């Protein structure tokens, strides 16, 4: 019974920490810790300089979420996603809000539209992939904790941890290519 509750509990903890971070970042104004938030987030288009940087950020942020979520046997995930949320709420959502408020429908500037699409791609594709990667990392850390403690684990429980990660990284690369194409036209 206890093992069946861990998966939904991890999702609740991961999503709740990101929502709390996004709320704090939006209403308190900006990142609480810029260095920690950049470990797991994508900067806005105004901070990127080269066309290939979105591909790098989109591919590495889910991988860093997966790896860093395994810190302290899964306890690192809520903290990292809280700081990701402060960046998303304080920087990306505010940038999206300011670019959308500058739209006038008879005249739509192409750069503002592409910048808005880039931020929407980060929030709608990269963020769910990072949340999924954090859940996979936390589940993997729990599996390792059970193995170290000598507790019995279900047959095949730890064997499938790399296949969802490969799928996740494939999605991240496709999204990164799309973001690089968008950013190349900014």
Query: How many percent of the chain have pLDDT more than 70?
Result: 89
DSSP string, 122-158: IIIIIHHHHHHHHHHHHHHHHHHHHHHHT----TTTT
**Range scoring the smallest mean pLDDT among 28-42, 68-82, 94-108, 149-163:** 149-163
123 within 8 A of 175, measured Cβ to Cβ: no
Number of structural domains, the chain? 1
Query: Which structural domain range is residue 101 located in?
Result: 2-184
pLDDT at 70: 86
Q: Kindly tell me if the per-residue pLDDT of 160 is higher than 70.
A: no
CA dist., res. 141 & res. 174, Å (int): 27
Res 126 pLDDT > 90: yes
Q: What is the DSSP letter of 160?
A: T
């Amino acid at each position: 019974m206890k093992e069946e509750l861990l998966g939904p509990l991890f999702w609740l903890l991961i999503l709740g920490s990101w929502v709390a971070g996004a709320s704090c970042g939006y209403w308190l104004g900006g990142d609480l810790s810029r260095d920690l938030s950049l470990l797991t987030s994508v900067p806005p288009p105004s901070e990127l300089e080269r066309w290939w940087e979105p591909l790098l950020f989109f591919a590495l942020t889910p991988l860093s979420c997966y790896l860093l979520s395994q810190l302290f046997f899964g306890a690192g995930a809520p903290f990292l996603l809280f700081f990701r949320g402060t960046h998303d709420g304080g920087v990306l959502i505010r940038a999206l809000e300011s670019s959308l408020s500058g739209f006038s429908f008879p005249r739509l500037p192409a750069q503002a539209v592409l910048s808005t699409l880039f931020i929407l791609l980060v929030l709608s594709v990269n963020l769910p992939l990072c949340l999924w990667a954090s859940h996979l990392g936390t589940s993997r850390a729990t599996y390792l904790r059970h193995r170290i403690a000598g507790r019995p684990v279900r047959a095949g429980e730890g064997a499938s941890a790399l296949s969802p990660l490969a799928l996740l990284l494939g999605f991240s690369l496709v999204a990164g290519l799309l973001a690089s194409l968008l950013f190349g036209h900014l």
